[in-house]
Amino acid sequence: MHLSKNQHKFKILMIVTSILIVIAFLLSINAGYLKIPMNEVFATLIGQGTPNNELTIFDFRLPRIIMALLVGMGIAVSGAILQGVSQNPLADPGILGINSGAGFAVVLYMFFFQGTAFFSGMLSIFIMPLTALAGAFIAALLIYLLSWKNRTVTPVRLLLVGIGINAAFGAGLIIFQMKMDSIDFMKAIIWISGTIWGTNWTYVWALLPWLLILIPFAVYKARFLDVLRLGDPIAIGVGVRIERERVILLLVAVALAGASVSVGGGITFLGLIAPHIARRLIGARHAKIIPLTAAIGALLLLSADTLGRVVMAPMELPVGLVVSILGAPYFIYLLVKTV
């Protein structure tokens, strides 16, 4: 009976969140310097709009909206997995240093390949995200190796090492930024501050397969996150190979974060906030937390991106800055409550 009631609550929450995403979508598609009446927006979406409206919506706004939704889903689910693996409610791809690793790799790429064919044109669309992904994996590998002690990885050690790696990559970012020319320096700043810069359909199709594969796989592995929550002795007692499952889940989290950050820039706190909201709404079962977290992450990032385009129009606030303004107080609250 309780399971049926919980399943019903989950369906209602997913429906409500989906409705809120549709509302945010409609608000976002009309947000910007050029205002388009809502009736013209609907006419354009069904193929009866003017050429100017079609250009504005299909070539500029719609790819950005879809990208914000995808990036929000990826970062949020990555945060949910990291919190489950580390058993720490403060875990987040940005806080653990995964985002910094991706950012450091991108800055190195900008520094060494500026002015070459690798830095401009279509080639950079594919190389820069892969560079960010490689940086995220290197950061995760360093975190895991340095956290390994007595043939195991403790959640507290994982978090502390992650914070240290985050600081180290942050210092490296500053060093190489200081050596860049002014144009590349500004590009790096824009990327690191968290801006949905991959706003064309090529980036959408490049990111989509990662999410279509990894998020369902994370839901499939959700039962192991539930067992890990009970502690290592119990997990070993029921036959779970905890180190193997931790590595697999960490790789999934890093791949989601790296792929998302590669086109969304350094967005922090989203992977912290969305899983907490989902957990408060639906409980502790990760099979329900992960899908709801994905929906909440998409809603939060799209709303933050829309707010960033509206609040100081015609200028834009980076979405990463908006999320940080909203997320930092919540992080402090969790820190005080946890510690």
254-284 pLDDT tens trace? 889 988 887 887 788 899 899 999 998 988 8
The CATH code of the domain at 2-338 is: 1.10.3470.10
Please list, residue by residue across 309-328, b when 16 or more beta carbons sit within 10 angstroms of its beta carbon and e when fewer do: beeeeeebbbbbbbbbebbe
Q: Rounded mean pLDDT of 179-192?
A: 73
169-184 pLDDT tens trace? 888 888 887 777 777 7
Distance between CA atoms of 246 and 186, rounded to whole angstroms?
Answer: 38
Distance between CA atoms of 235 and 239, rounded to whole angstroms?
Answer: 7
pLDDT value at position 16? 96
Residues ≥6 apart with Cβ < 8 Å to 204: 63, 66, 67, 70, 198
**pLDDT over threshold 70, residue 336:** yes
pLDDT value at position 117? 46
11-36 pLDDT tens trace? 999 999 999 999 999 888 887 777 77
Q: How far is CA 272 from CA 38, 95, 265, 326, 329, in A?
A: 34, 9, 16, 11, 12
| pLDDT band, very low/low/confident/very high, at 291 (cuts 50, 70, 90) | very high
137-153 pLDDT tens trace? 898 888 888 887 776 66
Q: Calculate what percentage of the chain has a pLDDT beyond 90.
A: 19
Parse the chain into domains and list their residue ranges. 2-338
pTM, two decimal places: 0.88
85-113 pLDDT tens trace? 887 777 888 878 888 888 888 888 877 77
| pLDDT band, very low/low/confident/very high, at 214 (cuts 50, 70, 90) | very high
